[in-house]
A and B are shown apart, each in its own frame.
Chain A
Amino acid sequence: MMNKLIFGRFIPGDSLIHRLDPRVKLIASFYFIAIIFLANNWQSYLLAGAFTLFCISFSKIDFSFFIRGVRPLIWLILFTVALQILFTTGGDVYWSWWIFNITEFGVQNGIFIFCRFVLIIFMSTLLTLTTPPLELSDAIEYILRPLKAIRFPVHEISLMLSIALRFVPTLMDETEKIMNAQRARGVDFGEGGLLQKMKAIVPLLIPLFVSSFNRAEDLATAMEARGYQGGEGRTKYRILHWHQRDTLVVIVFALFTVALVFLRG
């Protein structure tokens, strides 16, 4: 079940995109998601699509990974697209029944929304596939740093984030292990009615919580034993460096924005 999820996984590699500064990648992805909304005609979507493929091609990652990233969300996308197609009014009416009607604008909107979804997923998949989680949390810490001025606990949040990210796979393994152990004791997960399904979760959830508590306690002790006293006065082991290639990305994105604004109807 969880094995099929591509979205949010990291694939080690040594491409240009892999080596980029995570701050650039993170901001660029968010920026892309923001400006994709500028696109409003087929030329601009074509440009955005080409630009996404251009970025993907630099990652040296097989395109099928990206397709798989879309797959789990395909029903959500199709549902949204269907709503758009059936309920948008305006332009030529092709078909109409009761409150539903398929119109020129509807079809156009549907296609645009589909493209928008897919491109956003492609870009964020590109981010997570090429960036190790720890680098991502470093980037988030850096980006949040200005918030210190308003007493936002940046260090604590980023520490929690990096611990959380670190333990996601561990907890996944643990979940699978406990599930198997309970299955061997005769629990049927995902069978029967809703109530039965929920009841079957209890023997999974309680051990998971208990082991998380134990893990947290052990980890806190181990951290204290190694001299952790909070964020004050710490130095950093992983230091992010800005390279020329990162500046290049900024320029490329700026050009893309200009082109997009130009093509927009």
Chain B
Amino acid sequence: MDIRFEQVGFTYQPHSPFEQRVLFDIDLEIKEGSYTALVGHTGSGKSTLLQHLNALLKPTTGTVTIGERVIKPETDNKNLKPLRKKVGIVFQFPESQLFEETVARDIAFGPKNFGVSEEAAKGLAQEYIQLVGLDESFLERSPFDLSGGQMRRVAIAGVLAMEPEVLVLDEPTAGLDPQGRKEMMEMFDRLHREKNMTIILVTHLMDDVANYADYVYVLEKGRLVKAGTPSVVFQDTAWLQEKQLGVPTATAFAEQLQARGLAFEQLPLTAAELADVLVAKGATAHDE
């Protein structure tokens, strides 16, 4: 399922004294099965944009096409449910959405809303609690007894259990420890590769973008200012630093090496790439 934005603009509280325009003429396309990263400063409109992805917000101008559905400013709010099933959103700090008495019921809540039977929803809960790295003994516990990290996993399992085609992640690892962060990101990557899930990741962590994403959109003050594959976007380190967006650790390191006379054809984005390039360079230096 492709998602396409055409000239999308969005204004909060239009025609009121508190009117605030946050998105301007956004054109973007998210292809089925892609892993798209959305980066930008706080307040650049990322979170507003992602609420357009399953019609929680409707554009004030322009159109959003989600699969077959076209969302226009005048589209009414009826029959959006099928859309929400297809596009699952994991909001920032999703642990705040837990409310059921047991973890199992909370995970099953989403699927049940979309018409899955009680039994099948239970099965989904069992399946997805393991996917997020918790064992089945958690299913009968209250979500409020869990640690912050475990609650996060349960909340994410609740979204995954809806079995969406597109998964939108708004800073899914914010506030997690390094280990948990890595596990999470790898789980999403597995879903992307094995189940061909389309993933849209909103993040401040350029390393995650470099490691996982295959396309990047850069937002600034409600406008798209750059788009391309990570290897293209991250080459322009000066521009990124000027926008205070940062570059992946490996790229920053390679740049320092470059300043000391080591020439790179293209700045590497990940530690693995950097290592490969350095090994190759070492070998040629040795041969000479």
Contact = CB atoms under 8 A, between A and B. Distances in A.
Contacts, number: 67
A202 B91 contact: no
A6 B16 CA distance: 10
A211 B96 CA distance: 7
A248 B261 CA distance: 75
A227 interface: no
Interface stretch (A105-113, A143-151, A178-186): A178-186
A180 B91 contact: yes
Interface in B153-174: 158-159, 162
Interface in A1-27: 3-4, 6, 11
Contact of B96 (A178, A183, A188): A178
Contacts of A211: 96
Interface in A40-71: 62, 64-65, 68
A184 B161 CA distance: 12
Interface string A177-198: 1101111111110000000000
B31 interface: no
A203 interface: yes
A153 interface: no
Contacts of A184: 54, 56, 84, 87-89, 91, 159
B110 A185 contact: yes
Contacts of B96: 174, 177-178, 181, 207, 210-211
B217 interface: no
Contacts of B109: 185, 203
A184 B87 CA distance: 8
A181 B13 CA distance: 20
B229 interface: no
B239 interface: no
B178 interface: no
Given A180-B56, A202-B99, A186 B17 contact: no
- In terms of DSSP, what is the predominant structure of the interface of chain A? helix
Given A203-B109, A207-B97, A183 B17 contact: no
Nearest to B161: A185
Contacts of B85: 186
Interface in A129-154: none
B12 interface: yes
B114 interface: yes
A97 to B, nearest CB: 40
Contacts of B98: 207
A34 interface: no
A186 B81 CA distance: 6
Interface string A64-82: 1100100000000000000
A3 B162 contact: no
Nearest to A186: B113
B94 interface: yes
A182 B16 contact: no
A185 B97 contact: yes
B253 interface: no
Interface of A: 3-4, 6, 11, 62, 64-65, 68, 174, 177-178, 180-188, 202-203, 206-207, 210-211
28 contacts: A3-B18, A62-B17, A65-B17, A174-B96, A177-B96, A181-B94, A181-B96, A183-B84, A184-B54, A184-B56, A184-B88, A184-B91, A184-B159, A185-B97, A185-B109, A185-B110, A185-B158, A186-B81, A186-B85, A186-B110, A186-B114, A203-B99, A203-B109, A207-B96, A207-B97, A207-B98, A210-B99, A211-B96
Given A4-B16, A178-B96, 5 more contacts: A185-B109, A185-B162, A187-B113, A203-B97, A210-B144
